[in-house]
Amino acid sequence: MQDQEKTQEQTEQAEQAKSEQEQPAQAQAESGATENDAQSAASPSLEEKLVAAEAKANEMQDAYLRAKADGENTRRRAQDDIAKAHKFAIENFAEALVPVKDSLEMALKLDTPSVESLKEGVEMTLKQLSSAFERNRLLEIDPMPGEKLDPMKHQAISMVQAEQEANTIVNVLQKGYMIADRLLRPALVTVAQ
């Protein structure tokens, strides 16, 4: 019996210690609950956060669509500009050649031209044509005899015996032309063996 009394006494003591431990935890839980209530009242609810996120997503989608449309408009404008540039690229050159054609037509209208007037007219027309070429950066390639052969600008038609260094130009058969830095037609030349 004494053993039973001891165990019962120990059980009561353990329950009392347990209840003492539970009281602070319960008080903490209650104070935590009031803190959570205060936090939830201060911070937005999940529904409010969802509404705000949806509004932000709609705003971002609108900005994306506007940027995409702006990019498409810019691309379309650039394509139009390129198409116009291709279409009218020769316009300046054509404007420069019209006076040359006018001069040639005037020469043909003369009933009895003299050789000297024809020669003078042809020289003036050639000056007009050369000026038109120069304004539009159409440059002559007219190498001098003795110059080194440049395969980027000259085309060797034949090799001849000559008293000059090998692979140098002996004679120019036809002038070449370049537009800006691009070869339009190479100069046809004969070169020394």
- How confident is the model over 86-112, as a mean pLDDT? 85
pLDDT at 93: 84
Domain range list for the chain = 138-193
Q: Look at 24-33, 83-92, 158-167 and tell me which has the smallest mean pLDDT.
A: 24-33
pLDDT on residue 89: 78
Asked which of 2-16, 97-111, 135-149 is least confident by mean pLDDT, the reply is 2-16
Tell me: pLDDT of 121 over 90. no
Q: Which is more confident, 162 or 65?
A: 65
Tell me, rounded to whole angstroms, the distance of Cα 42 from its chain centroid: 52
Which of the four pLDDT bands, split at 50, 70 and 90, describes residue 43?
confident
**Confidence band, pLDDT 50/70/90 cuts, at residue 39:** low
Average pLDDT over all residues of the chain: 83
pTM: 0.54
- Taking only the tens place, the pLDDT of each residue in 67-96 is 999 999 999 999 999 988 888 878 888 888
Contact predicate 189/149, CB 8 Å? yes
The CATH architecture that domain 138-193 belongs to is: Roll (2.30)
